[in-house]
Amino acid sequence: MNSGKGRYTEPMASIDRDEKIRSRFVLCIRNEGEDDLEPRKVYQVLSDPSTAREGLARVIDESGEDYLCPAKYFVPVKLPVAISRQLVSLANSTRQPA
């Protein structure tokens, strides 16, 4: 997920600025030219209050890398605990050692 477009400063739309992201996962609802983002795909999101204030979400792709993307491209999703654990476990197993 290397857009080369730098950091975004657009206001948050789908994930309200005053709402803490309770979900650890988000659903991509649009990508507006960000070819690396796939609409209808679920991404794990990392809590990052400083970037959230700038309208950004820190999402993890399938390689385990995290990227800043406009938060308005995502909506939070609530998954059953068992599914969340499986997704986190799967993501951890695919990450490259540092």
Task: List, edge to edge, every strand of the sheet that includes 42-46.
Answer: 66-70, 56-60, 42-46, 25-28, 74-77
Instruction: Identify whether the C-beta of residue 25 lies closer than 8 Å to the C-beta of residue 44.
Output: yes
What are the residue boundaries of the structural domains of the chain, listed by start? 25-94
| Pick among 2.30.30, 3.40.30, 3.10.620, 2.115.10: CATH of 25-94 | 2.30.30
| 16-50 pLDDT tens trace | 443 333 448 999 999 998 888 999 999 999 989 99
Predicted TM-score of the model (pTM): 0.69
**What is the C-alpha to C-alpha distance for residues 86 and 62, in angstroms, rounded to an integer?**
14
